[in-house]
Structure 1
Amino acid sequence: MQTMPAHAAHHNDREIETLDEFDATVSARATLAGFRVQAVDLTDRTRELLTTDTAGAVFLGCPMREDAAAKVRADGAMVFPPVLDLPFDPYRGLLYSPDELFASLADGYESTPDALAYAWFQRTKADHDIFASTLRSIHDDSVSDALDELLRGTPVVGVMGGHAMARGTEAYAGAARLGRELARAGLTVATGGGPGAMEAANLGAYAAPYDAAMLADALRLLAKTPKFTPSITEWASAAFEVRSRWPKGGTSVGIPTWFYGHEPPNAFASHIAKYFANATREDGLLARCTAGVVFLPGAAGTVQEIFDNATPNYYESRGEPTPMVLVDRAHWTERLPTWPLLQALARERAMEDRIALVDRIEEAPEALKRLGS
């Protein structure tokens, strides 16, 4: 089974994103000239900053003592100071973890960094404050950079589907089994990072290192709290109970957005790329699904994702078309007749051999493999 590549192996070697990387760079190179240091607390590295060349370096949101800041500015470095009293770090170098976004969950979801970031977003969006919109843009760009670093060279398969799919249903269990099978086949599962079908697929990837009995037990535990309404606190707490019982879960990616603030991220994605701008998030999620996308039954959001994905496949604007597998014939031909339009678009295009409609979720991995070969 594949594990996701180590972060350090893939990021730009001029970027420093942890204190360990800072110490290793100063020790090995004896210079920080031209480096980018991102959201690293340097208050205890004053001696190193005072004695190391920092010409042309950029410090993005790095706390440091005033004498160190004065010295690096005198060297010709640029210093973007931390922005105080924000519920998020706009310069962050790494993706979020569930533990980070759900910190303080015991005090209620409203106390978590995730909920506080959404509240800040709502407040500043209404003000049309250019400083706030700049901070949101910097944050989202930092998240995209971290996501690229994490996924570079990794085969990624997207699993899309609606947030309404409840825990305890056969559809949810099927989506979880799909996520587990894809992860065990060496693919990195990526979802929209929210509840429902998205959570189920991330749960399946989390369960990949364990036997099938573990997933069945986890599904039973989660079924007691079927939806994130009326209580996100109870819904998320049930997920963390599963994580504490089976702490060594597999890796996957969730890519949610604060744009849909009523919809919390799920706790089973090991890496969470959460965005303020939904358009950036949507495009980024699909563009990174290099091994194809499975579309489970959903509503408007999933329909949009199907055609967001079909457009670059149609024009081959990202190179060779990637596989698209739609699951549930009745849903996609009768309830929301998306399949006939997708078929008509694909006719006599390179993407024609890269689309499939299957009746059952169990058929999706084989269809994905067939289309990708």
Structure 2
Amino acid sequence: MSDRPAPAPHPSADREIETLAEFDAALAAHRGLAHHRVQGIDLTERTFALLTADTEGAVFLGCPMQEDAAAKVRAGGALVFPPVPGLPFDPYRGLLYTPDELFARLADGYDATPDSATYAWLQETKADGDIFASMLRAVHDDSISDALDELLAGERVVGVMGGHAMARGTDAYAGAARLGRALSVMGLTVATGGGPGAMEAANLGAYSSRHDDEMLDEALELLAKAPSFTPSVTDWAQAAFAVRERWPFGGTSVGIPTWFYGHEPPNAFAGHIAKYFANATREDGLLARSNAGVIFLPGAAGTVQEIFDNATPNYYESRGEPTPMVLVGRHHWTERLPAWPLLRSLAEERAMESRIALVDSVEEAADALHRLAV
């Protein structure tokens, strides 16, 4: 690794390169890679280009390349952070995960997948105090945040929060799926915690938005045969991939799960998956990016936490309008877990009543969100 100081960010347009196509285009447009950031791309087949390109001020993050190419770009003024061998994940990745990537080798059982292997790595390293392992987790999560910001730039994002225990085959699951479908049809980008239960249902609904109503009804029936990720994550995930195979090219949505809760697998209906090691980063990032509002379905402790994690920046918002918040389930949020009275008290104190709503059913949630946003 070069001992030169890190170059200052270049003031020109976006210089991040995250695919081979972007790499080739940058060379064609600029005749070099000066001040670019090349992230997580296999460059072993681009040796000639690297040997001849201007790389002054460039940074290569986790890009495999031939030794002579690596020596040349370093000598040309670039910083090279080589890939870390033996990891089940790429800490320098430039793009979000896909379901196919996280569930690769699912046919051999969930334990054979990269998702499971990464959780196992976390379990092995999180308690040993190794600064290198914690650094790799931090670099990975920052890369994910960068990719998520790029994906959602200019999008109107609505967060859908709810419990992981909501089983397939229930009325509640079907309602959450229809909510996700309605939000997607409205032109909103659905973002969830990316796990099972209510989160999967909302992502499924968004996925169904490019198909007819009958597709969602049939998909719900098929998924009900594997109602929960326990006792078998493999069966649960394979049922989802069977739906995706039967109805390909579904609508896109975002899942933002975490390996902190590694016993909860990500769901396969979120087309883009921003999976984090740090749960706090994941929670804050999900809520902060929900610029079109957040809908809270009935849940337990995690959903209660999310309500007030979202209420806090709204409470202190001084430069613009607080984002809308819709709580679904009057009995749940006033009697079973009475978060609504406290939220309403906070809203009254800051004159935010016009930005919150409590509705009885999931069928009312999308309309309520629309009213609050107008």
TM-score category by the smaller chain? over 0.9
- How far the C-alpha of 1:317 sits from its partner, in A, is 6.0
Cα deviation code 1:323-359 (max 9, x no counterpart): 0000000000000000000001111414221000000
| Residue type at the aligned position of 1:33 | A
Normalized against structure 2, the TM-score is what?
Answer: 0.96
Identity over aligned residues, as a percent? 78
Paired residue for 2:364?
363
- For the pair 1:139 / 2:140, whether they are aligned, the reply is yes
Alpha-carbon separation, structure 2, partners of 1:171 and 1:20: 43
- For the pair 1:158 / 2:194, whether they are aligned, the reply is no
- How far the C-alpha of 1:128 sits from its partner, in A, is 1.4
Cα deviation code 1:54-88 (max 9, x no counterpart): 00000000000011111111111000000011000
Alpha-carbon separation, structure 2, partners of 1:312 and 1:96: 28
SS at match of 1:347: helix
SS at match of 2:119: helix
Alpha-carbon separation, structure 1, partners of 2:210 and 2:51: 47
5 Å-filtered alignment, 1:297-316, equals 297-316=298-317
5 Å-filtered alignment, 1:100-119, equals 100-119=101-120
Alpha-carbon separation, structure 1, partners of 2:161 and 2:318: 21
Paired residue for 2:26?
25
5 Å-filtered alignment, 1:347-358, equals 347-358=348-359
Alpha-carbon separation, structure 1, partners of 2:93 and 2:319: 28
Cα deviation code 1:154-205 (max 9, x no counterpart): 0000000000000000000000000000000100000000000000000000
Paired residue for 2:128?
127
- How far the C-alpha of 1:281 sits from its partner, in A, is 0.2
Alpha-carbon separation, structure 1, partners of 2:321 and 2:69: 50
| Residue type at the aligned position of 1:249 | G
Paired residue for 2:280?
279
Paired residue for 1:69?
70
Query: Kindly tell me: are residues 318 and 279 of structure 1, through their superposed partners in 2, closer, same or farther at Cα, counting changes over 3 Å?
Result: farther
- How far the C-alpha of 1:119 sits from its partner, in A, is 0.2
Paired residue for 2:186?
185
Paired residue for 2:345?
344
Paired residue for 1:176?
177
Cα deviation code 1:86-137 (max 9, x no counterpart): 0000000000000000000000000000000000000001211100000000
- How far the C-alpha of 1:319 sits from its partner, in A, is 3.4
SS at match of 2:357: strand
| Residue type at the aligned position of 1:257 | T
Alpha-carbon separation, structure 2, partners of 1:343 and 1:128: 43
Alpha-carbon separation, structure 2, partners of 1:344 and 1:150: 36
Paired residue for 1:250?
251
| Residue type at the aligned position of 2:201 | A
Paired residue for 1:232?
233
Paired residue for 2:80?
79
SS at match of 1:127: coil
Paired residue for 2:53?
52
Paired residue for 1:211?
212
Alpha-carbon separation, structure 2, partners of 1:94 and 1:249: 20
Query: Kindly tell me: are residues 240 and 318 of structure 1, through their superposed partners in 2, closer, same or farther at Cα, counting changes over 3 Å?
Result: farther
SS at match of 1:118: helix
- How far the C-alpha of 1:28 sits from its partner, in A, is 1.6
- How far the C-alpha of 1:318 sits from its partner, in A, is 7.3
| Residue type at the aligned position of 2:333 | W
SS at match of 1:207: helix
| Residue type at the aligned position of 1:124 | T
Any unmatched runs of 5+ in structure 2? 1-12
Alpha-carbon separation, structure 1, partners of 2:317 and 2:82: 42
Q: Retained in 2: the 8 A contact 1:38–1:91?
A: yes
Paired residue for 1:89?
90
Paired residue for 1:7?
none
SS at match of 1:221: helix
Paired residue for 1:331?
332
- How far the C-alpha of 1:256 sits from its partner, in A, is 0.1
5 Å-filtered alignment, 1:256-271, equals 256-271=257-272
SS at match of 2:118: helix
Alpha-carbon separation, structure 2, partners of 1:44 and 1:182: 43
Alpha-carbon separation, structure 2, partners of 1:273 and 1:323: 23
Alpha-carbon separation, structure 2, partners of 1:270 and 1:362: 24
SS at match of 1:162: coil
Alpha-carbon separation, structure 1, partners of 2:129 and 2:262: 18
